[in-house]
Amino acid sequence: MFLHLGGDVVVSLKNVIAIMDLETTTISKITKEFLTIAEEEGFIENISEDLPKSFIITEVDKKSKIYLSPISSITLYKRAGYIDDIANV
């Protein structure tokens, strides 16, 4: 199954490690530092010119990539079917 992150970017759900809300997670100093280092190392791809609302950590062939998405983390979770799975537990 695939997940549309916004723009022209689609990733396989098996490659998604985490879907994070940008506003709430960047309150933490550690998360800010993580994203700063990831950007310096070239792991971040901004997929839209719109203000990002979430970031998605993925891994393909042991290479990490972080996408900044204009789509909220809740919407991405719904698209992925994670919320439906949680509701059935």
CA distance 75 to 18: 14
Instruction: Give the structural domain span for 23.
Output: 2-87
Span 24-33, average pLDDT: 93
DSSP, collapsed to helix, strand or coil, labels residue 26 as coil
Angle at 17 between CA 34 and CA 81, to 5 degrees: 135
Check: CB of residue 74 under 8 Å from CB of residue 22: no
How many domains in the chain? 1
The token pair at 35 is 């994203």
CB atoms within 10 A of CB 80: 18
Top pLDDT among 59 and 86 is at 59
CA distance 57 to 66: 5
Span 1-6, average pLDDT: 92
pLDDT of residue 1: 85
Could you give the count of Cα atoms lying within 13 Å of 60 in the half-sphere of its Cβ? 9
What is this structure's pTM? 0.87
pLDDT of residue 89: 52
